[in-house]
Structure formats: structure tokens, C-alpha cells
Amino acid sequence: MTRNLFEGKNVLVVGGNSGIGLAAAKAFSQEGANLIITGRNVETLTSKADEIGGRTSAYQCDVTDMEQIKDLVVKVELEFGYIDVLFISAGQYSSGSINSVTEENWDWLMDTNLKGMFFTIQGMLPLMGNPSSIVLMGSIAGRLAVAESPVYAASKAGVRSLARSLAADFVTKGIRVNVVSPGPTDTPAYRKLKGEGNTLQQVEWEKKLSTIPMNRLGTPEEVAKAVLFLASSDSSFTTGAEILVDGGEVYLS
Ligand code: NDP
């Protein structure tokens, strides 16, 4: 059942053409939002905007490219004038022990997960309404010891730190900043990692599943519900916070 929670609200979902971003975009649209989704892949963006329906526009923007972020700011200003909700889901995952991490790999991951996030927020800041809400995509990897994924874990710990500091900076501007941190979630990115058909990886992932107290993956829709809560006035007294959507992995294991 929908409550038209975002009727007339301008919502920008960065990384909205796949996985958790797409699930959140669909949920925002069902709640009546004026929506802009972004990503790098133009073809996917157009077809996903059609799939989402409602008042949805799609613009290409690679968050690792500062010029593309500036272009996006102009487009969002032209279309929306101001933003009620900024949700940044765009992110990449990479694993590898310390010796296998190259400078190029470090830069790619940090540029996408942290630098791109920071400069997207910086660019959109003049457009953020009062009140408005920024929701950032973290991960339980930012809280746990994650063997063989040190760079990803560091990038996601950085997201939590960024959110708390920006929440403090923006609190007098009426802009709330919060983080949603999922555990393993059944998205295209996750399925790629799992390497369907690869027996060794299948075994490793089954071991991974057994570390989740609820013994299953989360769904993108379950994560989207936490995003919508933090984006909406239902969480009007919440800022600098983090919601875990992880089947109990952080606190129960
Ligand atoms: P998907 O690969 O399904 O979606 C990732 C999205 O990010 C796509 O829309 C993609 O669009 C976009 N994206 C990737 N790189 C860039 C870039 N450089 N610039 C702009 N957009 C980009 O992944 P998930 O939905 O699984 O992941 C979404 C977020 O959730 C990530 O931040 C991830 O770290 C986090 N997360 C995921 C978990 C999981 O188990 N799935 C667990 C914990 C956190 P395009 O390809 O068109 O650029």
C-alpha cells in the first residue's frame, strides 16, 4: 500500500539503473516522486526509466568524472530547481589481498565509492531544499573486518564518517544526512561476484551465507525500505545515523 509519501517531491537517485538504486527508484516513484535516475550506461538508463514509469528522467553521469558531475548539476537544476531527496547508491566492489591491489584499482574504487559521492554532494548542495534529506550507501563492510577486501571496506567506512561530519555541517541548513548499510544483497553486482557456474566460488559464497544469522541474502526491496524511511519526513528527527539491513550480521554474529 502506498502513502504518496513523496508526492510532489524531487528525488535524485545516483546509480538508479540497477540493484538497490533501481529498487529504491521504483519505490520512490510508487510513492509519487518526481524522479531523476543516473548511471554510466545510457541504454540501461533509458530502459530502466521506462520500466520505473511515472515522472522519471534519466541522465548519464559517471561519478568519477568531475565534469560529468557538473553537467548533472545543471540538468537537475533545470529540471527540478531544487532537490528534496538525494540518494547516492552508485558504488563498486573489489576484493584482493594487499599485494594484489594496484594503485589503479585503489583509485577506481575510492573514486567511485567515496570521492564521487563527496563531489556529487558538493555539487548538489546549492540545490538541496530546507528541509531535505541525503541518504548515502554504506555497507556492513565499513564496520566489520573484511578479509581480502581492505580497499572496499575502507571506502565504506569512509562513507559513514563522511555522513556524520556532513550531518553536523548541514544540521542548521535543514539537511539531514544518513547512511543505509546493507549486508549481502541479491543484486546483479552480487550475482556477478558469486560467479554462477563457478563451483569454488559457489562453495565460498555458501560459507558466507552461513555467517548471516537469518541465513539468506537481503533483497534490494528490503534495503530500499530503509532508504525511503531515511529520505522521508518519517525520520525527521534522525541525522548522522546509520541503518543496518543485514539479517543480523553485525550485531548477532
Ligand atoms: P549494482 O551493480 O546492481 O548497481 C550499481 C549502480 O551503480 C548501477 O546503477 C551503476 O550504473 C552505478 N554505478 C557504478 N559505477 C558508477 C560510476 N562510476 N558512476 C555512476 N554510476 C555508477 O550494485 P548494487 O545495487 O549491489 O550496489 C549498489 C550499492 O550498494 C553500492 O554502493 C554497493 O557498494 C552497495 N552495497 C551492495 C551490497 C550487495 O550485496 N549488493 C552490500 C552492501 C553495499 P552504471 O553501471 O550504469 O554506471
Residue 148, C-alpha cell as written in the block: 581480502
Most informative mutation of 63, 68, 72, 89 for ligand 1 (most atoms within 8 A of CB): 89
Give the pLDDT of residue 236. Answer: 98
pLDDT tens digit string along 153-202?
999 999 999 999 999 999 999 999 999 999 999 999 888 877 655 555 66
> Which of the residues in the chain have pLDDT under 70?
195-203
The neighbour count for residue 131, using CB atoms within 10 Å, is: 12
Grid coordinates 594503485 are at which residue?
A: 103
Query: Which atom from ligand 1 is nearest to the alpha carbon of 64?
Result: 18
Residue nearest to atom 31 of ligand 1 (CA): 91
Give the pLDDT of residue 201. Answer: 67
Can you give the pTM of this predicted structure?
0.97
Most informative mutation of 93, 152, 192 for ligand 1 (most atoms within 8 A of CB): 93
Give the pLDDT of residue 37. Answer: 98
> What's the CATH class of domain 10-185+219-245?
alpha beta
From 111, 105, 110, 85, select the one nearest 21 (Cα to Cα). Answer: 85
Give the pLDDT of residue 95. Answer: 86
The torsion angles phi and psi of 56, rounded to 5 degrees, stand at -120, 125
pLDDT tens digit string along 30-50?
999 999 999 999 999 999 999
- Options 59, 93, 152, 190, the catalytic residue: 152
Give the pLDDT of residue 206. Answer: 74
Residue nearest to atom 11 of ligand 1 (CA): 39
Query: Which atom from ligand 1 is nearest to the alpha carbon of 137?
Result: 32
Name the 3-class secondary structure at 182. Answer: strand
Query: Which atom from ligand 1 is nearest to the alpha carbon of 138?
Result: 44
Does 152 participate in catalysis according to the annotation?
yes
Most informative mutation of 18, 63, 135 for ligand 1 (most atoms within 8 A of CB): 18
Q: How far is the CA of 172 from the centre of ligand 1 (A)?
A: 31
Give the pLDDT of residue 247. Answer: 98
Could you tell me which residues come within 8 angstroms of residue 239 by beta carbon, excluding any fewer than 6 positions away? 167, 171, 176, 177, 178
Average pLDDT of the residues of the chain: 94
Q: How many CA atoms lie within 13 A of 245 on its CB side?
A: 24
Residue 138, C-alpha cell as written in the block: 554504506
Give the residues across from 12 on adjacent strands. Answer: 36, 86
The ranges assigned to domains in the chain are 10-185+219-245
